[in-house]
Structure 1
């Protein structure tokens, strides 16, 4: 039964190197499916790689009805992948308590996002809709040796489908809750047999909002909140001039015109008479509701098999994104704290990779170059405060600037089998970073918008009129090693231990109000021990890892007191040290030919050991670690799943169900006022495949119990001893939450020509 033996819940690979030289083809065909991954930049069996990795195949994604990258968090322990606050396309990614909460330009991520080995430097547009995909890989723990900086938590790899060489055309349509209506078209065509192929993909994804903007004065504007309006396209050309040489050119573009997300007010406004909405998906706004995220990229890959043991690979990429966005922090009909913004990013990368393998070793090496510009502008509009406190038409804090960076790196990793049972993996990477930053920051007693056509108001004709407060340059260099030892007890059981190191790049404060220095890179040292195993004639896969990590020089924004409530003074510094200890385990059991059971579990104990800040009034240092908690990191997560195949005269039916639970977690590190209680999500799918294999259908019910859970927010209030709150920036009670998807039902029908 080909559907019964598809791996429905992927096993976790916890660290494990190639031991005895067993190839994928030589693994047992009976029992569980062999899963291929590229975690070490070569194709290997999941059970052989020395990285903690979860791989979810295209078949499983379809059977579960997974549509966007953020849904992958359910199947990877100690992983958080969620939509960010004001948009549908910006990602918040944390693995093992390490990530990036603030998506502002210039900040560096802690979890790297990759499309076919091409790094996406910014979180805008990183909530990828799954189109023409082969699999998604989640690599947990620092990946500093092979993947470089900004992967101190881990890496997410989006792997698109390889060309098969055959003519294919796939059409898929979906209808569902909230007037969901999606169309996906993918295919390929051999222009010259065995030589030249062209592939393409197109998706038009539409959905009404889960809620709406409630006020009636939004004439002519779309009042849908949490809606979806995404168009995505891909084009690829693959040429094989010889059997040893392949050339691939890929282009992709995504345009997200979904409305800006309005947050849910958890406290009533003290400046307006609008009540707290009845639905967590309803909101108010004084900004236009439109929003836009445009992401476009091109890549070129040349792969040359020099001989049977050596290959040479070159990867070029150029990506850019542009995002004018409207973020209403206070979510009222007044301009209390509005932040229209523009994000404008561009990056170019080059990578040359040399791989060599023999009877008892595998060697991977390469050179890497990155050149990126991360620019933006935002206006913090406090119009009501300006009128009340100063009698001016309004009040706006204007901030703009760029972080321009280059990064050069060389890396190498060797996996060597000393005996049939013992092996060693050792690698290192040297990185040289250089960053130039310019920040303009000024206050004007008027209402200012960065782009015409938003709302009538004064528009500065030249951004340089805003005072330049920071114009500086800095460079850093880092050496990040990895070493691991593996013991192959028998063909099915392997024990391992490893140490790895990674770093998150240094940077400048994009909100700087003075000429403050750059912060140093963050460092993570990670230790892992565990076992990978298969039992019961390869019907049971059980992988367990224990990990411990030290996170040093954590970069953090401190909010400084000002003379008035209009001040938006923030200082970036290396003030934090934390650690984390935990366990990750995944089990997959082929109970019968038709029934697959799965379970995964993650536990993590995190703690800030030290947070040193300086009192700006006295200059004295003090430790405030008792006020800090690792954000977006529940103590434990687990997932239980089942997959059952039913044969019939009209085709095969596959029933797929899973239950995912997340323990409670905070949304902010310092004095968080937003804590999400533990919650569980149940999902159920019924899939049908025709006997001929051309027709398919899937009915998917997600969040069956309609759980409400927070994924982001803003807090600009101060708690009082009596349980109340004092107003914060803007003069209002701004405590806002954003929520994950409610219960949805969808029906997908596909046809393969």
Structure 2
């Protein structure tokens, strides 16, 4: 998705700052002269970050530029206990989002995100297109912990809220042009216009990007003459193309009308055309254990015995030169003497000899999404102490993406077409009674419909799909803040949610196949069936908040959240068409927010214990009566777990122009009980939670060097670390305690640097940035497909890249 300001519901505007009454609602501390203050709207009104009893990471648009953050995934490294990574190509152009161990990696429309993503207070109910570019933003707020009573849609793990810059009367703007590695050419621009002074303003924004992919695809037959593997070369030498390339154009127009001092109307429309390449993928491993239950103990420097690993009954030698040991029928295949690099692939997206006798099939080389939307916000001051806000938005997108396993044999090849439209409406009534009471009463409605035609190639199955997933959500919420005594605030929140959704399965055969295009027998009983889910839920929040001084506040909180149930959207056999229930979370949290050294230092701490019930996981092995255990991609309620940890965020401003920001986080996961269904799929109390990085830390520093009348120079460096994590739910052998390291995503420490020069009047800026300064080889994720195609694919992160930008403000 092209940009947060453009591609997704940049349609609605943040209502809480649209009237003078709400703005005046800020605490005296929020009106201080502290230039480092950040104002957030997590509790439906403008508040200083230090006054809000919620664990929040808040970053301004200026800070995003200084950090060189360009996509949503870039925010994960600096927000404690937050995992934001590009999803494997199998799931399309999306971000994997987890907060405190709660989230969702699968983009299928039948599954709810565990972390709520909002653009200008409009909820995005799908992970498709969630890899947003961060352009023309006012700020980003990352709220950790359940947000069941404080967000438009219930968000069990937390919420990520992006807010676009609003039209005003400044008659200002900017133009920004960038050139960098992999032929990156990017242009961004925005401008404000005062159409009717004092009443009508507009802001127009645009962005475009073209960048080559960093994974090079080669034709195996071309690089290895004499092989029996079919060629896919088309006269362009041995190079077939790349993966990971980006290409999009987007535009947005926002209009703000203030007919009276008491009414503000915001209307915005946007359009995006994204024609990017498939996500970066390389083949890491081919093979599977010789006996069921055997645990893969690699990768190691030497690897386990090759005889222990077989594919279709044949053992293979190991490849060399890879950080993973690869057992492959192609010899040194994953990284051989020709392509001795972790950034190469032999994927040609072509099924040269379909196993069902159908014609040769080539998947589109796409990870593309086109979208448009329109929406509006009306904020009205009904009286000095009463405000009404309406947020209305309509969104539509359609797209296509393909993925394979990295080999020219196309043991797995998928093409997904996606289409989605949604209408949402949110009403809020804000009331204030002096310093005693702040209250918000609201209602929320979401009506969405999603479609997912597919073509799937597996080792044992070739078929087409045509699935639909309509859903409706109705909710009401109330949040009350009561301050009976100075410095003591009691907060209570409640939310009622009613969700109804269905999933219609369409299954078909391949035209021209040996079966005459008939549905494969194992899928025939699935075609045309409908799975439904209906659930009603109450969620609660209670907070005790006490301010010892103007610069020290502590709080204790209890909150709940849930994620709706549904039905398995990927049954390969009738027996796998099974429903799953909702998962729930009850969280205890305590925190401290402080400022000291004359507001030159800010330290925020939080500790939490989450009781996770009926947690949802997806297993790749599901022994069911009358059906093979694999292929399988079955969501099920695995049982209960306890997740606990702490977070610390520090900001220092020791002298003028010098700033340091740092964070530290710890996370611990432990199953407390396992369901019968999970145990049947090999999950046990010994297994670790997925996407749980025990330790995370980050530190960044910059210093603005005044050059007098010549201008200023600002160097900045950012270092971030995330421990390794498991992406497979069955990751520890119960008998031996050995870890399945092939499902382990290794830890990483990344370094980014930026040097910028500004003219004395700040009208011009030239910046040089280098990302992944140490050229670290790391993987953002892996996709373990041993259960069906006996392979594992990795998603390498970008190697070292550089970019030069020139910005002109006016």
Normalised to the residue count of structure 1, the TM-score between the two structures is 0.87
Equivalent pairs, count: 695
Deviation at 1:446, TM superposition (A): 6.3
Which residue of the partner structure matches residue 191 of structure 1?
Answer: 195
**Contact 2:56/2:141 (<8 A) preserved:** yes
Report the equivalent of 1:178: 182
Matched, 1:276 2:338: no
**In structure 2, how many angstroms separate the alpha carbons of the residues matched to 1:369 and 1:706?**
47
Change (3 A) 1:88 1:130: farther
Residue aligning to 1:7: none
Q: Match of 1:224?
A: 242
8 Å CA contact retained: 2:243, 2:281: no
2:454 maps to which residue? 378
Q: In the TM superposition, what whole-angstrom CA distance separates every residue of 1:131-150 from its partner, at most 9, and x where no partner exists?
A: 22111110110000021555
Q: Who is 2:441 aligned against?
A: 365
Indicate which of 116, 124, 128 corresponds to 2:128.
124
Residue 396 of structure 1: which of 452, 457, 462 is its match?
A: 462
Are the equivalent residues in 2 in contact too, given 1:245–1:304 (CA < 8 A)?
yes
Distance 1:82 1:622 in 2: 27
Instruction: Provide the C-alpha distance between the structure 2 equivalents of 1:627 and 1:338, rounded to a whole number of angstroms.
Output: 34
Higher alpha-carbon deviation: 225-234 or 482-491: 225-234
Cα distance change of structure 1 residues 200 and 31 upon mapping to structure 2, 3 Å threshold: closer
For the pair 1:628 / 2:687, whether they are aligned, the reply is yes
Q: Which of the numbers 668, 678, 689 marks the counterpart of 2:728? A: 668
Secondary structure of the structure 2 residue equivalent to 1:479? strand
The equivalent of 1:572 in structure 2 is 635
Contact 2:178 2:806 in 1 (8 A): yes
3-state SS in 2 of match to 1:178: coil
Partner of 1:454: none
1:247 and 1:25 map into 2 onto residues whose CA distance is 28
When the two chains are superposed, the root-mean-square deviation of aligned CA atoms in Å is 2.6
- In 2 relative to 1, CA 25–484 (structure 1 residues): closer, same or farther, beyond 3 Å? closer
**1:13 maps to what in 2?**
none
1:714 lines up with 2:783 in the alignment: yes
Equivalent-residue separation in structure 2 for 1:165 and 1:286 (angstroms): 53
The alpha-carbon distance between structure 1 residues 434 and 250, as it changes in their structure 2 partners (threshold 3 A), is: same
| In structure 2, distance between residues paired with 1:494 and 1:607 | 31
Q: Does residue 689 in structure 1 map to residue 704 in structure 2?
A: no
1:108 aligns with 2:167: no
CA contact (8 A) 2:217 2:348 kept: no
1:422 corresponding residue in structure 2: 488
More divergent stretch after superposition (31-40 vs 98-107): 31-40
Following superposition of structure 1 onto structure 2, how do residues 470-481 of structure 1 map, counting pairs within 5 Å?
A: 470-481=529-540
Q: Name 1:747's counterpart in structure 2.
A: 804
Q: Secondary structure at the match of 1:371?
A: strand
Task: Say if 2:215 and 2:280, in contact at 8 Å, map to a contact too.
Answer: no
Q: Given that residues 108 and 150 in structure 1 are in contact (C-alpha distance below 8 angstroms), is that contact kept between their aligned partners in structure 2?
A: no
Residues 514-573 of structure 1: CA distance to partner in whole angstroms, max 9, x if unpaired?
Answer: 384532221011111121111111111111111110111112334324889896344433
Q: Which residue number in structure 2 is paired with residue 389 of structure 1?
A: none
In the other structure, the counterpart of 1:17 is: none
Question: How far did 1:466 drift?
Answer: 8.7
Does structure 1 conserve the Cα–Cα contact (< 8 Å) formed by 2:168 and 2:202? Answer: no
Structure 1 residues 270 and 641, CA gap change in structure 2 (3 angstroms): closer
Q: CA deviation at 1:407?
A: 0.6
Q: How does 1:262-411 map to 2 (within 5 A)?
A: 262-267=280-285, 268=326, 270=328, 272=330, 275-277=333-335, 278-287=340-349, 288-328=364-404, 330-360=405-435, 361-382=437-458, 385=459, 395-411=461-477
Out of 691, 700, 713, the position equivalent to 1:641 is: 700
Distance in 2 (CA, whole Å) between partners of 1:241 and 1:220 is 63
Q: What stretches of structure 2 of length at least 5 have no aligned partner?
A: 1-23, 223-231, 286-325, 350-363, 732-739
1 CA distance for matches of 2:179 and 2:530? 51
- CA deviation map 1:113-170 (0-9, x unaligned): 1010000111111111122211111011000002155511101111000222122231
- 3-state DSSP of counterpart to 1:489: strand
| Residue 597 of structure 1: aligned partner | 660
Cα distance in structure 2, aligned partners of 1:637 and 1:729:
33
- Shift of the alpha carbon at 1:481? 0.5
- The CA distance in 2 between the partners of 1:102 and 1:274, in whole Å, is 32
Distance 1:447 1:400 in 2: 18
Question: TM-score, with normalisation over the residues of structure 2?
Answer: 0.81
Are the counterparts in 1 of residues 745 and 782 from structure 2 also a CA contact under 8 Å? no
Contact 2:115/2:156 (8 A) holds in 1: yes
* In 1, Cα distance between equivalents of 2:498 and 2:562: 12
What residue is the counterpart of 1:435 in the other structure? 501
Indicate if the aligned counterparts of 2:30 and 2:39 stay in contact, CA closer than 8 A: no
The answer on whether the counterparts of 1:262 and 1:283 sit within 8 Å (CA) in structure 2 is no
Q: Evaluate the alpha carbon distance shift between residue 567 and residue 95 of structure 1 in structure 2; reply closer, same or farther with a 3 A threshold.
A: closer
Aligned to 2:587: 526
- 1: CA distance, partners of 2:470 / 2:686: 34
Relative to structure 1, the CA distance from residue 140 to residue 555 in structure 2 (aligned partners, 3 Å threshold; closer, same or farther) is same
CA contact (8 A) 1:272 1:332 kept: no
Say if 1:552 and 1:578, in contact at 8 Å, map to a contact too.
yes
Aligned match of 2:604 in 520, 537, 543? 543
Q: Which residue of the partner structure matches residue 279 of structure 2?
A: 261
User: How far, CA to CA, are the matches of 1:626 and 1:379 in structure 2?
Assistant: 37
CA distance in 1 between counterparts of 2:152 and 2:119 reads: 15
Secondary structure in 1 aligned to 2:182? helix
Compare 293-302 and 137-146 and name the one that shifted more: 293-302
> Which residue, out of 540, 559, 568, partners 1:509?
568
* In structure 2, C-alpha distance between the alignment counterparts of 1:130 and 1:62, rounded to whole Å: 9
Comparing 623-632 and 64-73, the one that deviates more:
623-632
Q: Does 1:698 align with 2:757?
A: no
Counting only pairs closer than 5 Å after superposition, residues 718-737 of structure 1 correspond to structure 2 as 728-730=787-789, 733-737=790-794
- By how many angstroms is 1:338 displaced? 0.9
Query: Contact between 1:610 and 1:623, CA under 8 Å: does it hold in 2?
Result: no
Distance in 1 between residues matched to 2:235 and 2:640, nearest whole Å: 50
Distance in 2, matches of 1:557 and 1:446, equals: 33
C-alpha deviation, 1:269, in angstroms: 6.8
- Give 1:57 deviation, angstroms: 0.5
Q: CA deviation at 1:626?
A: 3.7
Residue in structure 1 matched with residue 716 of structure 2 by the alignment: 656
**SS across alignment from 1:73:** helix
1:723 paired residue number: none
1:251 aligns with one of 242, 246, 269: 269
Name the CA distance, whole Å, in 1 between partners of 2:330 and 2:398.
Answer: 34
> Which residue does the alignment assign to 1:68?
71
Give the distance between the partners of 2:468 and 2:711, measured in 1 at CA: 57
